[in-house]
Structure 1
Amino acid sequence: MRRRPVRVELRVDATLRSVRLLAAAARGVLAEWAVPEEKASLLELALVEAATNVVRHAYRGAPGHEIRVRLTRDAGTVVLAVADRGRSFDPSKVPPPPAPDPADPKTWPEGGMGLALIRASCDEVTYASEAGENVLSLTLRLPAAGGRERGGRA
């Protein structure tokens, strides 16, 4: 018998302080769901980057706004959806930044790496904007019994 997905929804004011609260709450949920530490760390990093982008770019730091995060655990995956009603921004339209040269500090970016970190941390990143709501969905595949991730990755 297939188990139903488990969902948790979090809502916070769109402030940088609240981003820390979101990260801590998500970390607790992922621990309760027994998500492996490495996977939980990746998803937490992606959440912090996505929520920070909402505060700084979608709402431009203006008070009185909200970020909604929905975590869903299903057979073999965890999906984290970050929703806002700020300025829309489709990350799929942004090309990846040029790779810095580790030996040349002049090529190291001072910022603008959030999307690259999100993409590198997740197995799938999708964006939708409908009825004034922006939703960035971040998917991680989890190891199945035997240590292999569903979808073929080890």
Structure 2
Amino acid sequence: MKTVKNEFKQQYKSSLEVSRNIANDVKAYWAGIGLGPDVIDQIELCLVEMVNNAYEHAYHSEDGCPIELTSYLNDKNELVTEISDYGQSMSKDEFTKAINNEFIEPDPDDPETWATSGRGFIIVVQLTDSLEYINLGDKNTFKLYKNTNR
């Protein structure tokens, strides 16, 4: 059950810069509900990663497609941040693989270790308490949960 007294909810259009715009907008909300700078910085990084993923993977870097953000404190005092798109969905297997990937330290002598793709989910898993992926119809939503320590 979702008990929400105050939430941030906004729709944006996909672009290369949209993740920064979204982060700038929602940070004021997060500060206003009393989140500390450490929590804000961590969840901001996760938000930017997930919005960039929506732009790059769900929309194949196409500008002007809808990205929705909802953020609120739930009844467990966790910050819940939902990033939704209407682009290409992930399979459950792809999601499971993405969240279970391990970070590979880049080796200057091995170009195969230089890839940046796939690191976003590793960062998000490390910095959140829980991550869900929900696909309903044509809507894909990533729900990030972060204990606020309030």
Give the TM-score of the pair, scaled to structure 2.
0.84
Give yes or no for the alignment of 1:84 onto 2:90: no
CA shift for structure 1 position 60? 0.4
Counterpart residue number, 1:135? 141
1:13-52 superposed matches below 5 A: 13-52=13-52
In the aligned structure 1, how far is the partner of 2:135 from the partner of 2:101? 24
**Counterpart code for 1:114:** G
Q: What are the superposed Cα offsets for residues 76-102 of structure 1, whole Å, 9 maximum, x if unpaired?
A: 111000001000014224353343347
Match of 1:150 in 2: none
Q: What RMSD over aligned residues (CA atoms) do the two structures have, in Å?
A: 2.0
Contact 2:15 2:64 (C-alpha < 8 Å) held by counterparts: no
**Aligned partners of 1:92 and 1:127 also within 8 Å:** no
Deviations 1:10-64 (A, max 9, x none): 1111112111100101211111111011111111000000000000010001233
Q: Give the conservation status (yes or no) of the 8 Å contact 1:70–1:80.
A: yes
In the alignment, residue 145 of structure 2 is paired with which amino acid? Answer: T
1:111 alignment partner, one of 106, 112, 116: 116
User: Any gaps of 5 or more consecutive residues in structure 1?
Assistant: 145-154
Question: Percent of aligned positions with the same letter in both sequences?
Answer: 20
Q: Does the 8 A contact of 1:77 with 1:141 survive in 2?
A: yes
Taking the aligned partners of 1:19 and 1:11, their CA distance within structure 2 comes to 12
Question: 1:152 corresponds to which residue?
Answer: none
Task: Report the more deviating stretch, 44-53 or 17-26.
Answer: 17-26
Rounded Cα–Cα distance in structure 1 between residues aligned with 2:103 and 2:62: 33
Q: Following the alignment from structure 2 to structure 1, what is the Cα–Cα distance between the partners of residues 5 and 11?
A: 20
Q: Give structure 2 stretches of 5+ with no counterpart.
A: none
> 2: CA distance between counterparts of 1:138 and 1:71?
9
The 3-state SS of whatever aligns with 1:94 is: helix
Task: Provide closer, same or farther for how the CA distance between residues 128 and 38 of structure 1 changes in structure 2, counting only shifts above 3 A.
Answer: same
For the residues of structure 2 that align with 1:12 and 1:56, how far apart are their CA atoms?
15
Supply the AA of the counterpart residue of 1:25.
D
Mapped contact 1:6–1:74 kept (Cα < 8 A): no
Supply the distance in 2 between the matched residues of 1:82 and 1:131 (Cα, whole angstroms): 16
Counterpart amino acid of residue 58 in structure 1: A
